[in-house]
Amino acid sequence: ISFYLYTQLSTSLSTNSSKYFIPHSENTKHPNQISKYEKKYSDKSYYRKNQGGSTFNSNSLIEKLRPVEVGPGGSNKLDEELFELGLVNNKIEQSIKDEGYKTHAYNVLISNKLGYNRTIPDTRNALCKNVTYVKDLPSASIIICFYNEHNNTLLRTIHSILNRTPKNLLHEIILVNDHSDLEHLHEQIRDYLESHHINKVKLFKTEQREGLIRARIFGAERAKGQVLIFLDSHIEVNVGWIKPLLSRINEKKSNVVMPVIDIINPDTFGYSSSPLVRGGFNWGLHFKWENLPKGTLSAPEDFVKPIKSPTMAGGLFAINRAYFIDIGEYDAGMNIWGGENLEMSFRVWMCGGSLELIPCSRVGHIFRHRRPYGSPDGQDTMLYNSLRVANVWMDDYKDYFYNQNKHAKNVDFGDISSRIELRKELKCQDFDWYLRYVYPELILPSDDDARLKKKWSALEHDKFQPWHSRKRNYVDQFQIRLRNTSLCIQSAKDIKTKGGSLILRPCTAQKNQMWYRTDKNELVLAQLLCLQASNPNPILYKCHELGADQEWKHKDENNTPIYNLGAGMCLGVSKKKVNAVLEMKLCSDPDLSTWDLVS
Ligand code: LR7
Ligand code: MN
């Protein structure tokens, strides 16, 4: 009940949109860096001034729901705001957050408090602002399918589009509810759209769970705009996002184009810029990001020009509607999730089109750490769909896929005859042509080359965000001593034990009490494992470089609470004595521990 109330509350409070000022980043450097916005997180103090009274307070909620407005030349307060929103203030909020993680795999507590309209940093290269576009661009039907999406997050997706898309270019938004089983979701969205007279959004529901591939076909069949733009249901479009896409399609009907996918952190909702990378794949038929070929970005203009990409991630792209139909829509035999992105990529290239990344168009997407749903009958749909891709499009090269998936030999993949027919009708090139002209950089594995295979599986590890991995940079070193005691935080077991808890012990200057702070605000014990928030006790864990549960803040070196960004909670102990186990506590707890950093 509380969750429902909370959702309703934030629904009713956040509907009045306010003026926007999008702060711009002078991003002329190579974008393969953390954005300025992300940086700011690290050198400010975010402590809640008022540590007292922690009861649920709707007034302060109203404060927080207001979109942040900053004047020209002002600083972007958004990051500070997010930090505040992340605080778990009481048990009700804790249960909203826990339930949200179970159902949606991201922090719905913050999403609820954010409201539908928020400022996000303009992550485009500065040169994008000088680009001009022709007057009569085609208008778009935006197709968004959703299955059990979090209500407020979906509505923020929609509002971001309504706020940042010129009216004449937005023909309609087609929302396809893929037969979600979350109670009330459909009615909530329907009622919201009706009561706010949002007529541009047309809501449909499939008669049964179709999966995202058939749900998109279902949406496309109902669309009337000249261009189709497919988006996921947990995104926020950025300023100026649509014209660069439409313009490129306007130049050539067979250009299929993608925005740069910025990162919305699933734990903090921080919005950060993605570098320019292109899509590739490995022989397990997993999509992966890869660096651009050397020399692609050598002049400043190269940061605004379209960049050819061998594949697409799948979720966010624009295509001429007639071309979408001509080229065979999607493979309607594919189920639920997976594989359709490579299928579309191979098909577009092999059958005469091209696939491009458009750097001046940016859309943020919530990258979850896990997918919170499966397929209704438990089928491995990624494998099933990939088998269809391999057998329709890859000719003899499909053997490489089978070699990596030995058990796939006897797995059924349904009837693919109509797709093979399509390939013939469209007189498509063969896969050899694709590898040779579109993706010559792809290395072919050979059966007896164990070294290469090792490399493939290592690459697979960072298929989502390769740009996160870099060398750790230590900026500070200290022991963490409980205020007014001579007890310090140390590992309960060996310093190398993953998952090990932390306890208080008399301060010694030994390794197992020596914490190293990195420039990403991780706390690394003896330069080995990271301090990670987890419920109810923090643990030591392998550093994952994604911030959130491994990102810690304290005001300064003395007498300060230690706050975790992902958990929205603070580091504490229940008893000030030897062997007391460290816990995650509400930051508003009147008995909250404070710490001295002793170097
Ligand atoms: O049964 C379903 N029915 C649906 O309507 C399952 C999902 N969906 C919806 C869902 O609500 C969401 O809006 O389909 C959309 C995509 O599902 P996600 O968000 O769970 O998928 P993802 O973001 O993990 O996966 C990426 O790969 C998929 C392969 O099938 C799709 O192509 C997704 O669109 C794609 N997302 C992106 O490309 C965004 C960037 C992520 C990366 C890399
Ligand atoms: Mn997604």
Distance (angstroms) between ligand 1 centre and the Cα of 541 equals 29
Taking the CA of residue 211 as reference, the ligand 1 atom at the shortest distance is 1
In Å, how far are 122, 407, 469 from 453, measured between CA atoms?
40, 17, 21
Is the pLDDT reported for residue 461 higher than 80? Answer: no
How wide is the angle at C-alpha 423 spanned by C-alphas 419 and 425, nearest 5°?
110
Has residue 59 got a pLDDT over 50? no
Residue 524 has pLDDT above 90, yes or no: yes
Helical pair 78-86 and 58-65, crossing angle rounded to 10 deg = 150
Spatial separation of the C-alpha atoms in residues 113 and 103, rounded to whole Å: 18
Q: Reply yes or no on whether the pLDDT at 25 is more than 80.
A: no
Using the mean position of ligand 1's atoms as its centre, give its distance from the Cα of residue 165 in Å: 22
User: Is residue 47 predicted with pLDDT exceeding 70?
Assistant: no
Q: Which atom of ligand 1 is nearest to the CA of 341?
A: 32
463 Cα nearest atom in ligand 1: 43
pLDDT band at 334, cuts 50/70/90?
very high
Q: Whose CA is nearest to atom 11 of ligand 1?
A: 146
Q: How far apart, in whole angstroms, are the C-alpha atoms of residue 245 and residue 398?
A: 33
- Ligand nearest the Cα of residue 363 is 1
The candidate with the shortest Cα–Cα distance to 211, out of 50, 297, 332, 315, is 332
Helices (H), 105-241: 108-114, 151-164, 185-195, 212-221
Per-residue three-class SS string for 342-359? HHHHHHHHHCCCEEEEEE
Q: How many angstroms does the Cα of residue 231 sit away from the middle of ligand 2?
A: 9
Cis peptide, bond prior to residue 536, ω within 30 of zero? yes
Q: Any idea which ligand is nearest the CA of 341?
A: 1
- Asked whether the predicted pLDDT for residue 561 surpasses 50, the reply is yes
The predicted structure's pLDDT at residue 78: 63
| Res 171: pLDDT | 98
pLDDT of residue 556: 77
Confidence at residue 520, expressed as pLDDT on a 0 to 100 scale: 83
What are residue 584's DSSP bridge partners?
Answer: 571
Atom 32 in ligand 1: which residue has the minimum CA distance?
314
CA distance 449 to 36: 43
Q: How far is the CA of 232 from the centre of ligand 1 (A)?
A: 6
Closest residue to atom 20 of ligand 1, CA basis: 371
Nearest atom, ligand 1, residue 371 CA:
20
Centre of ligand 2 from the C-alpha of residue 555, in Å: 35
Work out the percent of the chain whose per-residue pLDDT is above 70.
83
Q: Which atom of ligand 1 is nearest to 144's Cα?
A: 13
Say yes or no to pLDDT of 42 above 90: no
User: Region 180-191: what's the mean pLDDT?
Assistant: 97
570 band by pLDDT with thresholds 50, 70 and 90: very high
| Atom 16 of ligand 1: nearest residue by CA position | 232
Ranking 58-62, 328-332, 426-430, 549-553 by mean pLDDT, the lowest is 58-62
DSSP string, 232-266: -SSEEEPTT-HHHHHHHHHH-TTEEEEEEEEEE-T
CA of 418 to the centre of ligand 1 (A): 25
Average model confidence (pLDDT) for the chain?
A: 83
Closest C-alpha residue for ligand 1 atom 38? 315
Q: Which residues pair with 290 in a beta bridge?
A: 278
Q: Which domains does the chain have, with CATH numbers?
A: 2-119+138-366 (3.90.550.10), 470-598 (2.80.10.50)
CA of 582 to the centre of ligand 1 (A): 38
CA 524, 526, 529, 535 dihedral sign is negative
Closest C-alpha to ligand 1, atom 42: 313
Tens digit of each residue's pLDDT (9 = 90 or more) over 101-150:
999 999 999 999 999 999 999 999 999 999 999 999 999 999 999 999 99
At 7-23, the pLDDT tens digits run 333 333 233 222 222 22
Ligand 1 neighbours, Cβ below 6 Å, are 145-147, 149, 178, 209, 211-212, 215, 232-233, 261, 313-316, 336-338, 340-341, 365, 371, 464
Which element (helix H / strand E) includes 459?
helix 450-461
> If you measure from the C-alpha of residue 235 to the centroid of ligand 2, how many angstroms do you get, rounded to a whole number?
8
pLDDT of residue 450: 52
172 CA from centroid of ligand 2 (Å)? 21
For a mutational test of ligand 1's pocket, the pick from 207, 337, 345, 467, i.e. the residue with the most ligand atoms closer than 8 A to its C-beta, is 337
Of residues 556 and 221, more confidence is placed in 221
Mutate to test the pocket of ligand 1, among 232, 261, 345 (most ligand atoms within 8 A of CB): 232
Record the tokens describing residue 521, joined without a space: 């605000």
- What pLDDT does 455 receive? 52
Residue minimizing CA distance to atom 41 of ligand 1: 313
Ligand closest to the CA atom of residue 233: 1
What confidence score (pLDDT) does residue 457 get? 53
Q: What is the mean pLDDT of residues 508-531?
A: 92
pLDDT of res. 446: 67
Q: What's the 315 CA to ligand 1 centre distance in angstroms? A: 6
Question: What residues contact residue 294 under an 8 Å CB cut-off, 6+ apart?
Answer: none
User: Which residues are 260's β-sheet partners?
Assistant: 362
Residue nearest ligand 1's atom 2 by CA? 211
Put simply, whether the predicted model's pTM sits higher than 0.80 gets the answer: no
As given in the structure block, the two tokens for residue 307 are 């960049």
CA 567 to CA 578: how far, in whole Å? 26
Q: How far is the CA of 305 from the centre of ligand 1 (A)?
A: 27
Atom of ligand 1 nearest to the CA of 215: 5
182-215 core/surface letters (b: 16 or more CB in 10 A; e: else): beebbebbeebbeeeebebbbbeebeebbbbbbb
Ligand closest to CA 316 = 1
Q: Is the predicted pLDDT of residue 1 greater than 70, yes or no? A: no
- What is the whole-number distance in angstroms between the Cα of residue 399 and the centre of ligand 1? 27
